[in-house]
Structure 1
Amino acid sequence: MTEKFKGKIAETFDGSEPWWPERSRGKSPNIITVVFDDTGWSDFGCYGSEIRTPTIDALAAKGLRYTNFHVTPLCSPTRACLMTGKNHHRVGMRCLADTDTGFPNGRGSIPQDTPLLPAMLRDRGYGAYMIGKWHLTPAHEITPAGPFSNWPVARGFDRYYGFLGGCTDHYAPELCQDNHSIDPPLDDGYHLTEDLCDRAIHYLRDHASCRGDEPVYLNICFGATHAPIQVERRYIDPYVEVFEKGWDTVRENRLARQKTLGLVPENTELAPRNPEVPAWDTLSDDQKTVYTRLQSAFAGFLEHADEQLGRVVAELERLGMREDSIIVVISDNGASREGGDHGAVDTNAPYSGRPETVEEMMAKLDDVGGPAGPAHYPQGWATAGNTPFRRYKQYVELGGVRSPLVVNWPAGIANPGEVRDQFLHVVDLAPTLLSLSGEVMETDFDGEDFSATFADATASTRNVQYWEMFGRRAVYADGWKAIATHEKGEAYEQDEWTLYDTSEDFSETRDLAGKNPEQLERLRAIWSEQAAANEVWPLDDRTLVDIIKFRQPNGLMARDEITLYPGQGHLAQVSMVTASERSMEITAHFSKPVGADHPGGVLVASGDRNGGYAFYIKDGNLHFEHVRLGDRVTLSAPSDEPVHRCSVVIHVADDHSASAILFANRKRLGQRCIPLVSTHLSFWGLDVGRDAGIPVSDAYTAPFPFPDTELDRVVMRFYESITAEEIAMVLEAAE
């Protein structure tokens, strides 16, 4: 609200009295929230790991570590809780932001009338800046034309630099700046984590220079350590010897260190190895070699991210902002089992439903972490990452929902280095940070301010919290925890509930449901009350893969035909129109005929050289290339006359193979078989009139643009049940 003018206005300046609103001279503390992705509770060095994280360890040594802090089992819901202080179902983020499920609890976007933390802080005079992963915009809104109402700048941040989806390639990321996409630098030595921290430092310098008497809120959300795991070999190689001992020994060693560090009670038991994970000693030599290298890449990836965070912390110090800066470090969920049994040298393999074999990976070990090796570790290492707990990301057991929490504030923490064991949830962060930013405001939070724990190790906190994900349920109340296991298709009333006394059983390994049925029934009743109050219904046990593949009836993914124009913005991979799993026709229309002497260029390109397709003209010939996990099919043909339109038709068969037919001026020029297409070719989306990412083909030098003045448009048509021959007949018969 604009403050009422308190001066005097007359007809002339001489008779008037100017007035300026008084500026508050009391500066609130700076706030830095740091969110790691898919990082397990035990993966930071200060939580028992052998991975080198000196920046976070130093923040913990001069701040506080919390051992009973919780999140949701998935990234978008946790981020929604952080931004709102409210439970995720209640703000439309039941699952991933990628999909609108058609129900209020799963819109994939936070309601516009729900204020977000940056907007609330900006109202108090903060400059608000966002770096990195957002993942709170529905996939159908991630287009060059928006709508932008759920992008970071529209939700309260002054500036934004990062990526909007759930994950991206760290060497060729799908970058956005404020409200538009930008091309990745693609320079030798480029890495997204370094770029993000460069931009964070840039924003801090701008703020210190121009608004130094006002506080700053900086939200840094790394892509690390979510797959694809990508980092230089110099970070990977030193860890090979460290992890050759295997995940069983690593779990035992981490728990021992956790006890020594005072993070867990001495009587804490190591949860049994998750049943789908074999004992390390039963593995073959090749399995051990592959799995060790993949975990070493994860460790190097985390160390690298910690190193870059260190540059941001050092910059705060250099700018004189460090003393009164609250730095909060968390992970968005537990370590991920999405690498499957064996992990991957190329994460695009399991993401496309076709995991690599150990033998295939053995031949490509030197690629791990590089542009050709966007890796993921096997689920056995996720078990180790979540030591001493059971399960992983996507699950409501502690392996999915217990997160590290480091709070550092030189000006506000009197006894640094201490450990806190109060029950907390990510919804408690927003009300806490707001309370520390100034005057207390009445806000409809589900969380509560826990800043009293900074000084008082015995301060009380909330005592009730629920969880739900994919039909799996859990509830905490007064030190007790109840969990219902559930898998897709099972009857909810047949779910088995377990019960734990968390005050005596830190790792939740001793089920007391049979001994204390009354307590279990009490907690089940509390869960139902919480579900009703937080709009959890309806329960939905579709898997994460089901949710990601679901084509909602809105956005580009719902269209049968899309017309694209040269010079337009990038179409993100999450748009669901950039892969090759559907039968389709791609037709380029030219504003004037293209002859044999034309220099050529890319008409449309999707993906990159490891997975994608490109339709282009070069040396007077038409070319179509399709590549999946390095398996390349090339279809080339000359035209005997100037081309005023050309097409490629792809028909996908039931076995996921495809036929590709090339046309010019509606004349069939050639045909090839594509052995296998995919719903996920790579982490890069689609560009028109150029190849803006890592190039799909080695036959040209990217971006190899086709002149905008000569390429009129590109039309993509999708077909659900029609053969390539039927499409070809339509093309050949058209006037």
Structure 2
Amino acid sequence: MSDVSAFAAPSTPSTLPRPDFRYAGQVGRTFQDSDPATFPQPVSPPEGAPNIVLVLLDDAGFGQFSTFGGGVPSPTMDRLREEGIAFNRFHTTALCSPTRAALMTGRNHHSASFAGITEVATGYDGYTCVLPKSCGTIGEVLRQNGYMTAWVGKNHNTPPWETSQVGPFDRWANGLGFDYFYGFNAGDMNHWNPVLFENRDLVPASSDPEYHLTEDLADHAIDWVRRAKSIAPDRPYFLYLATGATHAPHHVSPEWIEKFRGQFDEGWDVYREQTLQRQKALGVVPADTELTERSEGLPSWEELNDDQRRLYARMMEVFAAYGAHVDHHIGRVIDTVKQLPDADNTIIVYIAGDNGSSAEGGLEGSLCENLFFNGISEHWEDNLLAIDELGGPKHFNHFPASWAHAMNAPFQWTKQVASHFGGTRNPMIISWPDRITDRGGLREQFLHVIDIVPTLYEVCGITPPDSLNGVAQKPIEGHSFAQALLDADAPETRRTQYFELAANRGLYHDGWMASAPSFVPWNPNRQNWDPDAAVWELYDVEKDFSQAKDLAAEHPEKLRQLQDLWWAEASKYQVLPLDWRATERFNSEAMGRPSLIGGRRSATYYPGMVGLPDAACLPMLNKSWRITADVEIPEGGAEGMIVTHGGLEGGYGLYLKDGKPTFVYNFLALERPTFVAEEAIAAGTRQIVVDFVYDGGGIAKGGAVTLSVDGDVVAEGRLERTVPAQLSLGEGLDIGMDVGSPVDFNYTLPFAFTGGIEKVTIDLEPAA
């Protein structure tokens, strides 16, 4: 059996940064009577420290990819497993931002203040979504120990109120220890028309008609790692590649979708059965694993009508293509890594999901995921009309919850349900040709995402700092599983792990799992939930891999022990107070989250203001407002966007089309009421005003719209309903063009304004 002596003892200082350089020689009156000068030397990493490539997919389930028995081909993952090892008892937190905070810091997500995603932060210690400086990231620690560091892809760990172009930037990726960043600061992103940053700079939209975000991220990862190793071949690198796939929107080209035509016509129930059979054949689950029952509220495939089956099978074809596509492009990155110096001394960690597959498409599937976050359900009959457009640029599509459940086979539940493995158990592959000799091996130790950081520190010879940048550090809460990399029989280092997300609770301890689900993701109504009345389940997961047999009635004493231990762990790691609110937590104004807007009732924007994040914009929901645009119209007229907020999945736009002032309100892609002047606007200095007078009487109500030019009404009407909680996903405000996806389909991006804009002013609840 191997032991920790297989890796070099940590040799780096426990206080970072290192002290400033001090010349140690003798200094005389002149250089002639002084000792020879010496320079401070760059920090050298521990001898033999490996390169690290950390790949994290988004919203992927245990039974999704073929490497773990799923129906989505994953040849890159297959290849890495053949030369490395697979882990079948690795766990995340059931949601993206919390998992990523834990992955980057080695602390539990509440300890790192990420009880949920950034958009639902509240003012309790474990819930602020402001990463404490006492939880330094692995990027910062490796950087200060001689590593080159890059983060490519999704960053969902910067507080929304800090994502604008004025920062502060200490919790952007560059401020968290990464020399280079290319990606997006949001939970998800339109893959055809993304809003991206390179370090702190907004990236211009691509002119490539075949552009796709996943391919772009792979290209930039390849460019960076080649550049780094060309410049400094003797220094190790840390590349963190966090794709937007397979999170909604499920965007992929038709030629990829076509590869999967007809493959899912038998439905999600058959898929689950077939997946478990494949998993057993591959040996990634025990031979006696049972398929769990269909989770509460999910329909069987047989009870659907023919049109529903046709629609849902197509949605799954799109999703499978999307997943196969991302694995293919990760393969391009891995191919590049394999060609670089010191390739065999590169540890590649490929984690298939930051949580289980997502049920946020609801029971009927979705053309606009933002509806879910606003608590609005869709209807399959409407979505069927768009069946041939799925995956393309017109929709922010997401498959039904039952397919998400199937992607998590053989487990119960989905993303957001932290009480069960369907929400938390994800495949992990680790390759390290120089050190891992058990090629194709399987590891069955119970692990959690917080265990990655201490493991990487150990294999790199890094001492976890007690003090980082002048701040005393919280202890690393993960446990290294470095021995398991070399020995399948290495002892399990994790005896206990709590789980909690929006009051979905679980506790693992010495082979037992207590589980208490609080809500189902496809039913956002959580108002009447009572934590003291919650029903707890009990599983012997040493014998019952899939949590198929609830033993609560047979072992009440064991269940009581684990319940009490859960509360103790919750108190220890800042989990309390429990908070099960849903849609209302998306309302930043109501929650009192920090804001660049503060108590302002008016804001003025000037040309060049593009990509301003939603959180830095005036809160226009559930109230009256006025947009005033002072523009200059040249002889011959003007075209283009004057001001827009949001995009495909929700928002508004004021623009000139055929010279005519036009205002469109995108109600979550369900309807786009449009108000158009009858005549083109005349040349000269003009003032265009959009007034919205809210009906009041609650949230999401309608109101009157008036469009006027120089005080004369040119169009008017009503909005019968308005967005209640979240206007858009990942897209903010632009002046003079449309950055990201279009708010409607009457123009071509970027739809730059051909006249002049002096300023655009937005007033909230203006005087009549």
Q: Equivalent residue of 1:585, what SS? A: strand
Which residue of the partner structure matches residue 246 of structure 2? 225
The 5-angstrom pairing of residues 635-650 of structure 1 reads: 635-636=676-677, 638=679, 642-650=684-692
- For residue 454 of structure 1, what is the aligned residue in structure 2? 485
Q: Per-residue deviation at 1:246?
A: 0.8
Residue aligning to 2:606: 565
Q: Measure how far apart 1:634 and its partner are.
A: 3.1
Cα distance in 2 between the residues matched to 1:642 and 1:345: 42
Identity %: 34
CA displacement 1:224-283 (0-9 Å, x = unmatched): 000000001111122232111111111011111111111111111100011211111111
Name the residue aligned to 2:763.
717
Match of 1:344 in 2: 366
Partner-residue secondary structure (3-state), 1:588:
strand
1:292 matched to which residue of 2? 313
Q: Distance in 1 between matches of 2:506 and 2:745?
A: 51
- Measured after TM superposition, the shift of residue 642 of structure 1 is 4.7
Alpha-carbon distance in structure 1 between the residues aligned to 2:371 and 2:115 = 27
Question: In structure 2, the residue corresponding to 1:399 is in which secondary structure?
Answer: helix
From 6, 17, 32, the counterpart of 2:36: 17
**CA distance 1:354–1:535, shift in 2 (3 Å):** closer
Q: After the TM superposition, which residues 656-671 of structure 1 pair with which residues of structure 2 at under 5 Å, given as runs?
A: 656-671=701-716
Pick the aligned partner of 2:174 from 147, 153, 166. Answer: 153
SS of the equivalent of 1:407 reads: strand
- Equivalents in 2 of 1:662, 1:39: separation in Å? 45
TM-superposed CA distance for 1:127, in Å, is 0.6
Determine whether 1:403 maps to 2:444.
no
Of residues 521, 532, 537, the one that matches 2:560 is 521
CA distance in 1, matches of 2:744, 2:322: 28
| 8 Å CA contact 1:345, 1:365 repeated in 2 | no
8 Å CA contact 1:74, 1:393 repeated in 2:
yes
| Deviations 1:621-669, CA, capped at 9 Å, x for gaps | 4332334426451322556795443211123446644422112333433
- Separation (CA, whole Å) in 1 of partners of 2:345 and 2:682: 72
Contact 1:345 1:367 in 2 (8 A): no
Match of 2:531 in 1: 492
> Does the CA-based 8 Å contact 1:171-1:186 persist in structure 2?
no
2:377 paired with 1:377: no
Classify the secondary structure of the residue corresponding to 1:615: strand
> What is residue 413 of structure 2 aligned with on the other side?
391
- CA shift, 1:703, in A, is 3.4
Contact 2:691 2:705 in 1 (8 A): yes
Change (3 A) 1:496 1:35: same
Amino acid at match of 2:435: G
Selected match of 1:508 from 547, 550, 558: 547
Following superposition of structure 1 onto structure 2, how do residues 603-614 of structure 1 map, counting pairs within 5 Å? Answer: 603-608=642-647, 611-614=650-653
The alpha-carbon deviation at position 702 of structure 1 amounts to 4.0
Provide the residue aligned with 2:147 in structure 1: 126
- The two structures have a TM-score, normalised by structure 1, of 0.93
74-83 vs 113-122, greater mean Cα deviation: 113-122
- Find the aligned partners of 2:296 and 2:438 in 1 and give their Cα distance: 42
- 2:675–2:715 Cα contact (<8 Å) kept: no
Distance in 2 of aligned mates of 1:634 and 1:666: 16
Q: Which residue of 1 aligns with 2:624?
A: 583
Q: Give the deviation of 1:694 after TM superposition.
A: 3.9
Task: Give the whole-Å Cα distance in 2 for the aligned partners of 1:163 and 1:349.
Answer: 21
- Superposed, 1:49-68 pairs within 5 Å as 49-68=70-89
Q: Which moved more, 1:401-410 or 1:677-686?
A: 677-686
Match of 1:651 in 2: 693
Q: How many residues align?
A: 718
Alpha-carbon distance change, 402 to 568 in structure 1, aligned in 2, over 3 angstroms: same
Gaps of 5+ in 2: 1-18, 467-474, 520-525
In structure 2, how many angstroms separate the alpha carbons of the residues matched to 1:132 and 1:618?
Answer: 35
Amino acid aligned to 1:476: Y
C-alpha distance in structure 1 between counterparts of 2:385 and 2:638, whole Å: 39
Deviates more, 1:141-150 or 1:74-83: 141-150
Return 82-91 or 637-646, whichever deviates more.
Answer: 637-646
Question: Which residue is equivalent to 2:472?
Answer: none
Q: Counterpart of 1:230 in structure 2: which amino acid?
A: H
1: CA distance between counterparts of 2:409 and 2:648?
37
Mapped partners of 2:270, 2:478: distance in 1: 38
Give, in whole Å, the separation in 1 of the partners of 2:406 and 2:752.
Answer: 47
Q: What is the CA–CA distance in structure 2 between the aligned matches of 1:581 and 1:643, rounded to whole Å? A: 32
8 Å CA contact retained: 1:98, 1:137: no
TM-score (norm 2): 0.89
Residue 260 of structure 2: SS of its match in structure 1? helix
Preserved CA contact (<8 Å) 2:88 2:428? yes
Q: Distance in 1 between matches of 2:342 and 2:620?
A: 46
Note the C-alpha offset of 1:66.
0.7
Aligned residue in 1 for 2:584: 546
1:382 match: secondary structure? helix
1:627–1:100 distance in 2 versus 1, CA, 3 Å? closer
In structure 1, the gaps of 5 or more residues are 720-726
Structure 1 equivalent of residue 327 of structure 2: 306
Of 477, 480, 487, 2:509 maps to 477
Shift of 1:497: 1.1
CA root-mean-square deviation: 2.4
Shifted more, 409-418 versus 107-116: the winner is: 107-116
1:703 paired residue number: 750
* Greater displacement, 404-413 / 549-558: 549-558
Instruction: Please name the residue that 1:693 is paired with.
Output: 740
Equivalent AA in structure 2 for residue 504 of structure 1 = K
Cα shift at 1:614: 2.0
Structure-2 change in CA distance of 1:442 and 1:580 (3 Å) = closer
* Cross-structure match for 2:303: 282
State the shift of 1:220 in Å. Answer: 0.5
CA contact (8 A) 2:363 2:402 kept: yes
1:438 and 2:479 matched:
no
Task: Tell me the amino acid that sits aligned with residue 242 of structure 2.
Answer: C
1:157 aligned partner, one-letter code: F
Q: Provide the residue aligned with 1:723 in structure 2.
A: none
Distance 1:521 1:211, change over 3 A: same
1:91 matched to 2:115: no
Q: C-alpha distance in 1, partners of 2:377/2:69?
A: 31
Q: Which has the higher mean CA deviation after the structures are superposed, 692-701 or 435-444?
A: 692-701
